[in-house]
Structure 1
Amino acid sequence: MILRMIVCIIMCGGLFGLGWAAPAAAESLRIGEPLCHAVSGTVAAEGAEPPAFSCSGEPAGYQQGTLWLHAMLSPEAGTVDGERDDLSLIIHNSRFDRLIVTFFYADGAVERQDVRSGDFGTHWRAGGQLAFRAPHRDVPLVGVTMQFDKLASARLLRMRLVERGEESTQTTGLATLIGAALVLLLAGAIYNASLAFAARRQFSAWQSAWAVCMVAWGACWSQLHLFFFPAMAGAISAQICTGLSCLAIALATLTAVTALEAPCVSRWLRRSALGLTGSVFALGIPLSFMRSGPIDTLGSVLGMLVLANLVAVGACIAQAWRRGSAEARNFAGAWAVPMMVLGSTSFFDADSMFWGGGSQILVLFAAAWQTLWLSVTATRSHALLRAERDLARQAEARAQDLARRDALTGLPNRRGFIERVGAVLAASRTRGEPVALLVIDVDWFKSINDAFGHEAGDVVLERIARCIAPHESATCTVARLGGEEFAMMLAGMAGFDLMRFAESLRQRIAEQEHGAVIRGRKVTVSIGMATTSGGADFRTLYRLADEALYEAKRAGRNQVAIRLLEGAEPFADDQHLTGGPDLPGGHDLDLRKG
């Protein structure tokens, strides 16, 4: 968290440093320094002369009429190192009906340029600015007059005189900054929308809506939308920007307040933040439509409400953080930059920063920072949730597997065996393959436990399981059914191959060394086998295999006995399985009789 805050401070410092790095050649024009003003209560006729100019006080009564602003320029204006460079007048405010700019030259020549709301021609620039280039002449520029018809607010005007070369550089730099911020916001909007859809998260949906709103506001404020909708130039875009900015504040607050866990934020504090947000949005609606009236007063009230709203959201985040909310820590980093930006611009003039982009460009980058920060934290939280879900699924799968495996031998238990043989039997019926079930029982196992103890018996079972386990495959399922009884289900094997397999398994188990644990005693098994080449269910096969096992036991143990299910191919009359090495005489078993 500390590292993130350091990065945040470095980025803010970089942006502020970039903003203050404006060239010294740019000259800000303000009413009274050096602009003088004149006002007409009605819209002046074409070519009408302005009343007498006043160079003190604030203009008033111009909202339904015309406001003239005039500046006298020194002959050295636009001169750098003795070389004359043409000047450009940059104006930032578009809530007016018409603007006429008049340039006065030392030889008495006059040049006029004008724009109207809905038609800015080639004068608009990125960053909500208008550029009027004084035509090149051999004589110096000595004055400039701006005539605004039905201007909404003179206090919101921002005007600068810059050299022609600097104007191009600043315009390009400002457009690049705005484009970068809008791309970041758009990427954040798309990402959060996809995250909201995939993860069903309300927070991501609010965040996506806020980012979309900021993209729309940034496009309107910067005038980049005029590439596609040139008729929206002027007052209508400014009014839309006011509404979008208030909507963005409301969405940002909803994003933060709804994401914080209810127990972590007191009810009155949450309601205060939502109430202030509602007030901001409610006041923004009439301000969006106003072209005259107390716009400046209402704008100041709106600014105070926005600051109060920021304080309320900050208090919600701080309280939630103190109460252990993980979301609050994420929001602290996300809201730190916007709070610093909006709070700081209330105490110093940022209008001349960022080549005329002013506080708006700061807000745009603060919004980009916020959406990127929250997108990263949302991704991290989502990744952690996915990791936890995957671990839970793996644990569940392991638990399911353990529930179906014998703890001592690691072989499937009776439950796991029955589940698996169902698939083997179904596949065999489909392919018409023979199936055999082998039930394997350890001979005289109780005597081993009685003579050497249950631990020795467990060792014997483990070593027998090692002989059986390697045969487990897609066509062979093995298990320990319980006690000293094991089982195997074989598919696709019949006749002599099946008999040889069963006999070799019996011999391998009989040859297994158990060492000192049972003092070198040999351990044998009896195998009962049931086979069929037609359809059969597990219960029937198991019953027949169990009968065959008891027959092998009665025949002297260490035997393989077989039973054929009706429909299976019988063995030849001379086929027998003989007894193992611990029965020297052997016990012949007539396989045809089962």
Structure 2
Amino acid sequence: MDRESLRLRRFPKAMKALCMIVCMVMMGLGWSSPASSEMLRIGHRLCYAVSEMTMPRDVMPSTFSCAGVPEGYQMGTLWLRASVSPDTHKSDDLSLIVHSSRFDRLIVAFTYADGIVERQDVRSGDFGIHWRAGGQLVFQAPHRDAQLAAVTLRFDKVASARLLRIRLVQRGEESTQTTGLAILIGAALVLLLVGAVYNASLALAVRKQFSAWQAAWAASMVAWGACWSQIHLFVFPKMAGALSAQICTGLSCLAIALATLSVVTALNDVHLSRWLRRTALGLSGAVVLLGIPLSMMRSGPIDQLGAALGMLVLADLVTVAFSIGQAWRRGSHEARSFAGAWAVPMLVLASTSFFDADAMFWGAGSQIFVLFAAAWQTLWLSIAASRVYARMRVERDLAWQAEAQAQELARRDALTGLPNRRGFIDRVETILDHMRNADETVAMLLIDVDWFKSINDVYGHDAGDVVLQGIARCLAPEESSVCAVARLGGEEFAMLVAGMENVALMRFAELLRGRIGSYDHGAVIASRAVTASIGIARAEKAADFHSLYRAADEALYEAKRCGRNRVAIQLLHAPEPSDNVRRPVALES
């Protein structure tokens, strides 16, 4: 198994460990707001008024309504006012936290019992020292000896009063909550970023469309989370306010479309019906088409279009759920992975309809749930993809190994285990190329068993096979980087040696002939001796295989003609033996 396969198999364990760390952080920081944190809503502690934007900064409306809902404020000014009870809060140590930034300007006025009003303001593109990670704006009430009596908020061109989330907390708790929320959001974004990078690398490595869509989805969720939480203001402070909120709307719609694409592209036509696939793609396209104008709107029926978009998103999620279910029933392994990945986000989105998500995670709302659900989804799918691709790589490596073994077997003689003619030629070509560059001599030895046909005729082919195996054991120890050994077929063996001069070459051949002649085959042919004739072709400069083979064959014929059980040598002085071949010289045993 290669290193990349090992990394793929280790990745799920690392991701699981990271998920456990994040879960421990979430449990340690707590799920809900402290008891002293108070949500302010229109109709509950918050009264409202609507005016023209031309009203001076220091002037407040004379009357506020505490019933019904405000109207006509999107192109004007929305005023919200809350009285502060000294029995509930320490009035000299309060912070106001606002979780919406889709407005042109916000002025917060702290009114004290002695009539003094302290104002703080932010505007789109400039949140100054008031912004915090987690999509929050924090306004701290100045310390004064007088009791804080009321807090008034002036929103110019706010997009939706329904989306406003406002809380009053003690200043020390505000610091703890904003820090904790920043840690949670940072952890979720890191997990998403790791998933995006990992899936992108998988897409490049294995050329899988699903991994590419999954990486794009995780990247869009990272961008959405950074914009919603305002972490991007560290880098782009001028994007503070409505621009970031509008970008968030567009990114959320894009993320939904990419998530749907990652599912339908991973499920093939065998497991997913065409009409269900088209329905999912159509709904995701409708989400994008509705999200584009909604992201550009600063006024108008934003709440109504948002509700319609929510219905489309719900329909898209239901269709994806049906797609996963159908593919699972039809035996899709990918559908099982998607079921585990999509179960948590769907449950999270469904559960936010049954409880007040705005009070969870220090007022961060359902967005923090969506962010962690997205992190869960991308990590689950990354782990599943890692396992699948690791298994594929292991299977591929095993296939390559089997192919290599098959190729090696194709180059080996099944009876003796020595290379066959094909393997011998491949090895010889390699040695000849090396010797040609080194300008060294080479020699080919053809070794033929004497009277081998009579052994088969008298003792049988099984006995002949045992004899050939014994001869192979005599030759095999000479195999090295400069010596190739093979059985060419029948009773004929061959060797190619490099770097031996005439005297050493003849001694080597005589050693082989003597070793073959003295080998004990008594178990199959009793006391009958087995001898071999050896023909040698030696080239002073590296020649090609066919020239050496022809010359060695002529030398072997000479050794046979002169009585067998002997060595004959022929010298080649040029690559082509036809013009420069000495007559073979046979040496008696």
TM-score by length of 2: 0.91
Deviation at 1:10, TM superposition (A): 12
For the residues of structure 2 that align with 1:517 and 1:181, how far apart are their CA atoms? 77
For the residues of structure 2 that align with 1:9 and 1:333, how far apart are their CA atoms? 17
Q: Among residues 61, 73, 86, which one is paired with 1:62 in the alignment?
A: 73
For the residues of structure 2 that align with 1:66 and 1:129, how far apart are their CA atoms? 21
Equivalent position SS for 1:263:
coil
* Residues 317-396 of structure 1 aligned to structure 2 (within 5 Å): 317-396=324-403
Runs ≥4 in structure 1, deviation > 6 angstroms? 7-14
Equivalent position SS for 2:359:
coil
CA contact (8 A) 1:439 1:486 kept: yes
For the residues of structure 2 that align with 1:11 and 1:17, how far apart are their CA atoms? 10
- Do residues 441 (structure 1) and 451 (structure 2) align? no
Percent identity among equivalent residues? Answer: 70
Q: Among residues 273, 281, 301, which one is paired with 2:288 in the alignment?
A: 281
For the residues of structure 1 that align with 2:27 and 2:354, how far apart are their CA atoms? 14
Q: Among residues 216, 220, 226, which one is paired with 1:213 in the alignment?
A: 220
Compare 304-313 and 40-49 and name the one that shifted more: 40-49
* Residues 139-154 of structure 1 aligned to structure 2 (within 5 Å): 139-154=146-161
CA contact (8 A) 1:19 1:355 kept: no
For the residues of structure 1 that align with 2:546 and 2:59, how far apart are their CA atoms? 109
Q: Among residues 123, 126, 142, which one is paired with 1:119 in the alignment?
A: 126
Matched residue, 1:244: 251
CA contact (8 A) 2:420 2:489 kept: yes
Equivalent residues, number? 571
Matched residue, 2:587: 577
CA contact (8 A) 2:217 2:255 kept: yes
TM-score by length of 1: 0.91
1:189-213 residue CA offsets vs partner (Å, 9 max, x unmatched): 2222222222222222212221221
CA contact (8 A) 1:43 1:150 kept: no
- Do residues 290 (structure 1) and 297 (structure 2) align? yes
1:323-359 residue CA offsets vs partner (Å, 9 max, x unmatched): 1222212222221221122221133221111112121
Structure 1 residues 273, 120: closer, same or farther in 2, change over 3 A? Answer: same
Deviation at 1:55, TM superposition (A): 1.5
Matched residue, 1:45: 56
* Residues 3-42 of structure 1 aligned to structure 2 (within 5 Å): 20-40=31-51
Structure 1, unmatched stretches of 5+, are 580-594
- The amino acid across from 1:296 in the alignment is D
For the residues of structure 1 that align with 2:19 and 2:269, how far apart are their CA atoms? 28
Structure 1 residues 530, 483: closer, same or farther in 2, change over 3 A? Answer: same
Structure 1 residues 486, 94: closer, same or farther in 2, change over 3 A? Answer: same
Deviation at 1:398, TM superposition (A): 1.3
- The amino acid across from 1:59 in the alignment is P
- The amino acid across from 2:41 in the alignment is R
Equivalent position SS for 1:251:
helix
1:422-478 residue CA offsets vs partner (Å, 9 max, x unmatched): 232333333222221111111221222122221111111111101111111121111
- Do residues 404 (structure 1) and 415 (structure 2) align? no
Matched residue, 1:76: 87
For the residues of structure 2 that align with 1:425 and 1:47, how far apart are their CA atoms? 98
Matched residue, 2:269: 262
For the residues of structure 1 that align with 2:490 and 2:408, how far apart are their CA atoms? 20
Deviation at 1:124, TM superposition (A): 1.0
Larger relative contact order (Cα-Cα within 8 Å, sequence gap ≥ 6): 2
Matched residue, 1:544: 551
For the residues of structure 2 that align with 1:541 and 1:120, how far apart are their CA atoms? 88
CA contact (8 A) 2:26 2:184 kept: no
Compare 486-495 and 369-378 and name the one that shifted more: 369-378
- The amino acid across from 2:225 in the alignment is G
Matched residue, 1:180: 187
CA contact (8 A) 2:92 2:142 kept: no
- The amino acid across from 2:347 in the alignment is M
Structure 1 residues 12, 177: closer, same or farther in 2, change over 3 A? Answer: closer
- The amino acid across from 1:512 in the alignment is Y
* Residues 520-531 of structure 1 aligned to structure 2 (within 5 Å): 520-531=527-538
Compare 379-388 and 67-76 and name the one that shifted more: 379-388
CA contact (8 A) 1:280 1:302 kept: yes
- The amino acid across from 2:78 in the alignment is L
For the residues of structure 2 that align with 1:20 and 1:100, how far apart are their CA atoms? 30
For the residues of structure 1 that align with 2:198 and 2:532, how far apart are their CA atoms? 65
- Do residues 106 (structure 1) and 113 (structure 2) align? yes
Structure 2, unmatched stretches of 5+, are 1-12
Q: Pairwise CA RMSD of aligned residues?
A: 2.7
Structure 1 residues 228, 425: closer, same or farther in 2, change over 3 A? Answer: closer
CA contact (8 A) 1:317 1:332 kept: yes
Matched residue, 1:590: none
- Do residues 478 (structure 1) and 488 (structure 2) align? no
CA contact (8 A) 1:41 1:61 kept: no
Q: Among residues 224, 231, 243, which one is paired with 1:224 in the alignment?
A: 231
Deviation at 1:487, TM superposition (A): 0.7
Compare 141-150 and 490-499 and name the one that shifted more: 141-150
Equivalent position SS for 1:354:
coil
For the residues of structure 1 that align with 2:105 and 2:21, how far apart are their CA atoms? 42
Deviation at 1:128, TM superposition (A): 1.0
Equivalent position SS for 2:358:
coil
Structure 1 residues 334, 9: closer, same or farther in 2, change over 3 A? Answer: farther
Equivalent position SS for 2:246:
helix
